[in-house]
Structure 1
Amino acid sequence: MTILASYASDPAQSRGRMHDEKRDVTRGPRDDFQRDRDRIIHSISFRRLRHKTQVFVAPDGDHYRVRLTHSLEVAQIGRTIARALGLNEDLTEALCLAHDIGHPPFGHAGEDALQDALDEFGGFDHNAQTIRTLNKLEMPYPRWAGLNLTWEMLEGLAKHNGPVTRPTWALAEANAAMDLDLGTWPSLEAQVAAIADDIAYDNHDIDDGMRAGLLTLDQLLELPFIAERWHVICDRFSDVPKVRLLPELIRDQIGLMVNDVLETTRARLDRLDVQSPNDVRQAGQMIGGFSEDMAEKERKLKGFMYENLYHHPKQMAAAEEGKMMVASLVNAYREQPQLMPESWSAALPEGEPDRIRHIADFLAGMTDRYARNRYREIYGETHGK
């Protein structure tokens, strides 16, 4: 049996669920956070992540990451950190697995299109959409909408990046249904999930970018801290062709970041004398994260990735196409709601803002492949070219 640290989230002390559930012994001996994790894994929205953009829009290659594989990698890193810190691994894992569920097709390009469409109706935010999806759009239970997740799970999804002072309409709606204490810091499990996300995509996107030929090793070695690690690896494997060493570089970078998080987080816990989950929420600062030195290196790495990968001309062209397709589908469904599946068109509200938000819910749940196919059915192959 795992011994939790005093500042870890304890499922026995959970603030509960929106709808009371009688414990059914036929469902197995799982605690509340284990149930949350399993509900995420078994959800339709989680399965759809296998066909949603991570870096490359609708990638042709089988070896590129998608939202699903990214989420699994985040969960692996999050569990490692949580275990070392004595945190609740199940809650950490559940938060890691669920964190990208609200992303629409075509990544941030699809999000930009939905933001434009909902601009006068409160906008669109993928983080809030994650909670909306899990609270309202998933329908596996006979007596209520949503997965009926614990307060700690919803709180962690709502504010894993810190306190929320100006919630979007979707997050405000969720908070009105179940007060998530948005003004405080989240659990340490949520903070670990957030930093695990950064560690995963910072490093794995390098791997995908080089695999796609959009990044080169020479470009990467312009970053001094990457070059320093590369030279250490080359010395360690002096008898191995350098072409074989890139995966080792990625692993080393992840290890360095994880170790930095552990050392920094432990030092902050000691300095702030954190003894309970409530101490974490009232600390007035992030506890789980990088040191100042590593944070600066990570910012430079992100800047490099934006300049050389995310804003690469090929990526920008693909993103513009994705944004155009989502915007076109918004217009089609507003003008001809019957083009949506009957279950969605029959439930379409009459007035705004509920009407456009309903359409956005449908679109946000689409995979890249499904959105592209619906676009071609409506507009044909050459529209927008």
Structure 2
Amino acid sequence: MSVRAPWACEPDHSRGRLYEEQKGPERGPRDAFQRDRDRIIHSISFRRLRHKTQVFLAPDGDHFRVRLTHSLEVAQIGRTVARVLGLNEDLTEALCLAHDIGHPPFGHAGEKALDEALAGRGGFDHNGNTLRALMVIDSPYPRWDGLNLTWETLEGLAKHNGPVGDPGWALAAADTAFPLELRQFSSLEAQVAAIADDIAYDNHDIDDGIRAGLLTLEQLLDQPMVADGWRRVESNFPGVSRKRLIGELTRSQIGAMVNDLIDQTRRNIAEAGIETAADVRAAGVQLAQFSPAMQESERRLKRFMYANLYHHPHQLEAADLAHGVVAGLFAAYAADPALMPDKWSETIPADEPWRSRHIADFIAGMTDRYAIARYRECVGPIDLPDGF
């Protein structure tokens, strides 16, 4: 094990778990954060990510990314950065693996449909639902609800994108049960996990977009960061086919962003005088950051991706259909809860807003293909474009 920096989160100094657990050797020689990571990997919520949308809805192609493969790629980047910065790799990995567990079927299209369905009942957001899934819904253990993760893991998931001033109902409920200091910045492990997520989808979505034929290399070369990387790749590998060089371009861009993140974060830690993990949370600023130049390049790349991939007419058409599937399911279950499996129909609350939130809990846990199958069963036929 590499030596950790004094500002890393240490499992022996964890604030503990919501429910006290008996200590003993029967589960193997793992510390608290290693157990969190392993509980996440073994959870039903994590397994479902293999059939949940990343960019392309319920893709047929075996080579497109889904939430599961994306989360694994985020974890690889997160661990690399954490190791170099002397952070806790296991906590970082746990946060990377779990950060998307709260996404409903069809990604942001499904999230929008559930948010509209819960209008006036608290709405829906995937980050709050991550906490709800891990603390309430996914309950494989006999003595408590949820996975009973450590405070540090739950805190990092709650605010890995920064302090939360106005939490939605699900996140507020998690905070009430186990106060997570939502208005403070999170650990460096959580901050690294958040940027590892950005690095992964910024680059891997390019790869998937080109594979799907929705992006072209010529379009991408209008981005200065991509153009610079492409010139280096062509110079280093003359005569190699474009197809193979695109993979090298992705690798080199990830490397450049990771190196920039490490260098800038080290400078920020030194300038802020950080000496402990408590100092990180008290700093009042995000310490894990890109340099100003890389921040601008990354923001410009994101704008390009939204304009040319995420909001591509093909993607918008698919999102409209996916929105209709989720909205249709919610309406059907609200009208007749008996259409849900017995586990869900027999426990539905009688009063609002919990009745509607219960239905949303069920739908949010669905995979893309399960949602499509249930729509056809409960609502009616639906024509879907190629790729579903």
Alignment TM-score, normalising by the size of structure 1: 0.99
Match of 1:221 in 2: 221
Secondary structure in structure 1 of the residue aligned to 2:16:
coil
Shift of 1:173: 0.4
State how far apart, in whole Å, the 2-side matches of 1:250 and 1:131 are: 32
Match of 1:355 in 2: 355
State how far apart, in whole Å, the 2-side matches of 1:216 and 1:164 are: 38
What are structure 2's unaligned runs of at least 5 residues? none
1:200 aligned onto 2:204: no
State how far apart, in whole Å, the 1-side matches of 2:123 and 2:346 are: 24
What is the aligned residue count?
Answer: 385
1:125 aligned onto 2:138: no
User: 8 Å contact 1:324–1:384 — kept in the other structure?
Assistant: no
State how far apart, in whole Å, the 2-side matches of 1:243 and 1:78 are: 27
Match of 2:101 in 1: 101
Percent of pairs identical after alignment? 64
Match of 2:240 in 1: 240
Shift of 1:213: 0.4
Matching of residues 1-385 of structure 1 within 5 Å: 1-382=1-382
Shift of 1:283: 0.6
State how far apart, in whole Å, the 1-side matches of 2:225 and 2:317 are: 31
Deviations 1:167-196 (A, max 9, x none): 111111000001101111000000000000
Shift of 1:60: 1.0
**Which residue identity does 2:218 align to in structure 1?**
D
Shift of 1:383: 7.9
Structure 1 window deviating more from structure 2 (10-19 vs 284-293): it is: 284-293
User: 8 Å contact 2:74–2:200 — kept in the other structure?
Assistant: yes
Shift of 1:239: 2.5
State how far apart, in whole Å, the 1-side matches of 2:4 and 2:207 are: 35
State how far apart, in whole Å, the 2-side matches of 1:346 and 1:379 are: 21
Alignment TM-score, normalising by the size of structure 2: 0.98
**Which residue identity does 1:275 align to in structure 2?**
E
**Which residue identity does 2:217 align to in structure 1?**
L
Deviations 1:135-173 (A, max 9, x none): 000111111110000000000000001111111111110
State how far apart, in whole Å, the 2-side matches of 1:306 and 1:67 are: 18
Secondary structure in structure 2 of the residue aligned to 1:48:
helix
**Which residue identity does 2:314 align to in structure 1?**
K
- When the two chains are superposed, the root-mean-square deviation of aligned CA atoms in Å is 1.1
State how far apart, in whole Å, the 2-side matches of 1:12 and 1:276 are: 14
**Which residue identity does 2:184 align to in structure 1?**
T
Shift of 1:384: 10
What are structure 1's unaligned runs of at least 5 residues? none
State how far apart, in whole Å, the 1-side matches of 2:382 and 2:257 are: 46
State how far apart, in whole Å, the 1-side matches of 2:242 and 2:66 are: 27
